[in-house]
Structure 1
Amino acid sequence: MKRIIFNKTGRIILPVLFVLTILINISLGSVRIEFKDIFTSIFEDSNIHFLIWRLRFPRVLMSIITGSALAIVGSVFQSIMKNPLVDPYLIGTSAGAGFGAVMALYLISSLNVSVSVPIFSFVFALLASLLTIALARKKDVIPITHLILSGVLISTVFSSGTILLINFSHRSLTNVYVWLFGSLSGITYEDLLFPFLVTILFLLFAYIKNGELDAMALGEDEAKILGVEVEKLKWILYIFGSFTISVIVSKTGIIGFVGLIIPHASRLVVGSRHKYNLIGSAIIGGIFLSFADTISRTVVAPIEIPVGVITSFVGAPLMFILLKRGGKG
């Protein structure tokens, strides 16, 4: 089972699973669409064509990209910090990225200052992460409870700053929900390319380093004996991961708990070796968030629930279970 992703069965099952995920999530919504209509509408100039290929399809693709990115970064962060409760959402990375994105939008729309949304998002994502670690560090150790409490504190500060900026820019309460709880509404094909490229590059880099990540899991001293440049690798992955999160958040807002729960699910399915876990996290994360987004837009249709609310309902109980187990992955 640990090698199902790479064996012959896996090479058949996974493409089929991805296609089914896309088809199911395209078909579901306030307007139910039959599978056959999805294919017959490709060359039509109709309302169904617009609904499927202009509204739902790019949204489903973005949900897969976002879920994969959050899960991969969560898996890597848990490994380099040797803490199974680390998540970009919990340690403030997502909140910082959201604040940076909203600040950039505020400067652009209210003050007519030309700035880059992804760059602002990245700078504040990294700042929030570093502040969380600095507050949680006790000598050379970062206790789990200290990390969680520091992450909550930093997330609260940056989330409050986000609300303040939105109020300054006179945006509606709906925009607050988008940035604090995440939304994939309004995604277009133009929004897909950059997040996809960044996610693929981060996955490839982490995958190339899978052996070194496995060595670090044994302990930093053991990894150094094996020739791993531990501190250098940790900082590269940490900065690259923060950048990946910032790109995602700048498009979708803050979506919590995906980076916490999916790496654990992946370990149960494919094992803890990073060669398998990284790919497993990407696949399971994409599928999970795609279905979570479909639930968010269908459960009380035509009203749309922020997708982060759905992921929190799943992630919060699991986090409680992990805390009761003492943070053991």
Structure 2
Amino acid sequence: MDKKAKVGAVAGVAAVLVGAGVGVATMVGGGGGPAPSPSVASGAVDPLSGLPGKGSLLVVKIDNVGPARPAVGLAQADIVYIERVEGGLSRIIAVYGGAQKPSVIGPVRSARETDLQVLSAFGKPAFAYSGAVSKFVPVLKRADVINVAPAEKARAYFRSTDRAAPHNLFVRTPGLTDGASVAKDIGLHFGALPAGGAAAASANAGLPAATFRFTWNDAAASYAVLMDGHDTAPARPENVIIQHVKVTDSPRGFVDTNGGGKVSEPFSQTVGSGTATVLRDGKEFTVNWSRPNPAAGTTFTYHGKPFPLHRGQTWIVLD
């Protein structure tokens, strides 16, 4: 990342590192824990998971290289997007729309251009990220999100002693969603397993420098996720969507300068149409996806009808 544009530094290192010297596993027991109070009454159905308990929207960018794992608070996300970043590596866009949020989430990393197109379907979420390249910072400030990066919410962030920087920045979530919109329908449908499909005990998805293996566990009625062949994700999604998208260089010309060179940031085009593979209940389905404009949700159709997902967490791999 462009070292001149670390948003967390704007508010001062001392403020950002409130809580430094504390292991995140000690604070939250390794799981993130629920936030002490819901943001919306728990009777309403969360349209992002199909489960009871709709709340205000929180989105967190989470690091996803080996030294950053395991992530904290990932198991409680409604939707986990896997996006490509520089070098073909992966980062996570974790979306929380339920009434209860984990009390701590991370490790938090920087925003990318892909994020804003993905999030434009959700309304006005609170968006937590660690920073961005300098030319992207003004774009983020104008975006239709509640900006809760360290520059705006320094005291919500801390660095853990459990892992090395830059993979150790975490965010405390109470109060982060003030002013954010409530979770809304973004095109996902939930219901019984449809007829058809093919039995698939496991399936693979890959970016140029990151791999994911999803293995169905019938007893748990969910998928185990193996990342890069050796790290097990601390989340067990009920659904996996491997969404085939066009990946280009940054439309705005954003580049990353880590390592001394200049590398264009990848951009995953989530507006348009294409095909996808949906995994649920140990079966695999080939579907079509369509998103006509940035404000619209994404519809996944199977034989001309919206595909019904299992209620619970959904991972969407943008490959």
**TM surpasses 0.5:** no
TM-score, with length taken from structure 1:
0.24
Q: Greater share of strand residues, 1 or 2? A: 2
Q: TM-score, normalised by structure 2?
A: 0.25
Which structure's relative contact order is higher, taking Cα pairs within 8 Å and 6+ residues apart?
1
More helix by share: 1
